[in-house]
Structure 1
Amino acid sequence: MLRSIKQLHGRKLGASDGEIGHVKDFYFDDQSWAVRYVVVDTGSWLTGRTVLISPHAFGPLQQDGNALLVNLTREQIESSPPIYTHEPVSRQYEVAYFQHYGWPSYWDGSELGGVGLFPTVSSVPPDTGLTVGSGGENTGDPHLRSAHAVVGYAVQGHDGEVGYVADFMMSEGIWRISLILVETGHWLAGKKIALPTSQVDRISYDESTVFVGIAKETIEQTPAYHIPPRGAEYCDTHGFEENC
């Protein structure tokens, strides 16, 4: 099942013993497209801290009313190694983080959902709240990217610009971004299309551009992609009430 990253943004998050905040962002690896962390806005609960939740805490995206459930307690999250705004997600931090929760680390080749997702460590553009490291043990991972920051980037084909990044579609069971949704704007009367991430040649953060190995003619012939409404998406696939 594919999930829209935009539709998950803002969803409440519930621990086993109470609410912990809401989804603020997703950090993904720009080489493997694996989602590494859900970034949580905890409101006034843990002010000044960036709270990261690994997909290990979710398993399938379980929902309780309007909240997505994580298999953690509030105390576990509060006592986890702190990382503060504008600090890089360093390898040193990740070692402490995974040891705290007792989860296998992705850099040892651990798998999630039966598929090997996690290569080696990666950093977030300056406007995402986490800084890019400059070297050493505490350096930020140079491939860890904010989904929120990349939305809006231009999409450049072989022979010209084809639109801009409008959303990402994530494969729920394996927590991997499978598709980039591209808004074509006036060129194709606002048609939104889906491009497999396998077609991405590179992402330039200096140019705010995603380069894809596709010609404009191919884009023009690609059928439009439609995302179900958020409630319908969950109701149709998980049997929740119509007003979920």
Structure 2
Amino acid sequence: MLKNAEHLIGYTLESCDGEIGQVKGFHCDDQHWTVRYLVADMGHWFRDRQILIPPSAITGVNLNMQTIDINLTKQQIDDIPALVHGETEARQLQDPRDPHRCSSHNLISSHVQGTDGDIGHIDDFLIDLDTWAIRYFIIDTRKWWLAKKVMLSSLWIERVNWLEAKVYVNLARETMKHTSPYTVLDPLNCRHESHRQRRREDWIKAMSHILGKSDNRELLKTQQNDHWLSGTTNQQ
């Protein structure tokens, strides 16, 4: 199941012995595009502090109740060191042992740079709740194409530059212009992924024309591992 990161903000965290706080944000891996930690706001439960909870501690997500179950006791949570002030908003966390950890606070609104110029900015991203992998980014392109948001597979991202607040992708602006608009589907599931798969052939033809490909097989071979194009998912 895929879920918008922004929609998970505010979900209640349920420990083994009761409610302990809410989801405040995420720390992500900008190399493998996974969620490293949930930023948990303890509020009045634990002296108004914030801590990091790894996805390995999560036992379930209830979308109807907007709760996330974790297999930690309140005592174990109280023993987790609190985040220092401003760490959740850091552009790049100053930890040489973990240079690819970044905050979702700064990931959202970062500019997306294509091969030939600015495409837009990151408005949100979709998390696979089974694996906590970041599968897609929602790109706001309204600066160039009025009121249009598009989905971008994380596999297209080549690198990130936090000093510039830019995410670089191996796509031209014209290619993004021809992708289908993103419509909020909550929750996004295999039925919606199947619908996206049915539009795959037209999307590839458009890209082939833009990139000057005379044979679509070359493009298919190049992108065979991209689950946005190939439609291979782990959805239940």
Which one of 120, 131, 135 corresponds to residue 163 of structure 1?
120
Q: What pairs up with 1:45-194 in 2 under 5 angstroms?
A: 45-47=45-47, 49-62=49-62, 65-80=65-80, 82-86=81-85, 126=90, 131-133=93-95, 139=96, 141-194=98-151
Q: Distance in 1 between matches of 2:16 and 2:183?
A: 34
Give yes or no for contact 1:162–1:216 (8 Å, CA) kept in 2: yes
> Which has more radius of gyration?
2
Q: Distance in 2 between matches of 1:64 and 1:140?
A: 38
Equivalent residue number for residue 23 of structure 1: 23
Deviates more, 1:27-36 or 1:66-75: 66-75
The letter for the 2-side match of 1:178 is R
Gapped runs of 5+ residues in structure 1? 89-123, 134-138, 238-244
Q: Distance in 2 between matches of 1:222 and 1:64?
A: 31
Deviations 1:31-70 (A, max 9, x none): 1112111010111333364311111121442457232222
Deviations 1:75-127 (A, max 9, x none): 221123x1431598xxxxxxxxxxxxxxxxxxxxxxxxxxxxxxxxxxx7635
Give yes or no for contact 1:48–1:84 (8 Å, CA) kept in 2: no
Deviation at 1:15, TM superposition (A): 1.2
The letter for the 2-side match of 1:132 is Q
Equivalent residue number for residue 106 of structure 1: none
Gapped runs of 5+ residues in structure 2? 192-236
Equivalent residue number for residue 10 of structure 2: 10
Equivalent residue number for residue 105 of structure 1: none
Equivalent residue number for residue 103 of structure 1: none
Give yes or no for contact 1:29–1:144 (8 Å, CA) kept in 2: yes
Give yes or no for contact 2:43–2:49 (8 Å, CA) kept in 1: no
Deviation at 1:26, TM superposition (A): 0.8
The two structures, once aligned, show a CA RMSD in angstroms of 2.6
Q: Distance in 2 between matches of 1:17 and 1:207?
A: 44
Give yes or no for contact 2:91–2:103 (8 Å, CA) kept in 1: no
The letter for the 1-side match of 2:26 is F
SS at match of 2:177: helix
Q: Distance in 2 between matches of 1:44 and 1:60?
A: 24
Deviations 1:142-167 (A, max 9, x none): 11011121100111111111110000
SS at match of 1:77: helix
Number of equivalent positions? 191
Give yes or no for contact 2:52–2:83 (8 Å, CA) kept in 1: no
SS at match of 1:188: coil
Give yes or no for contact 1:125–1:132 (8 Å, CA) kept in 2: no
Q: 1:132 to 1:22 in 2, by over 3 A?
A: same
Which 4+ stretches in 1 moved above 6 angstroms? Answer: none
Equivalent residue number for residue 208 of structure 1: 165
Q: Distance in 1 between matches of 2:49 and 2:182?
A: 37
Q: Distance in 1 between matches of 2:170 and 2:135?
A: 16
SS at match of 2:144: helix
Equivalent residue number for residue 195 of structure 1: 152
Deviation at 1:190, TM superposition (A): 1.7
Give yes or no for contact 2:34–2:132 (8 Å, CA) kept in 1: yes
Q: Distance in 1 between matches of 2:10 and 2:26?
A: 11
Q: Distance in 2 between matches of 1:63 and 1:166?
A: 21
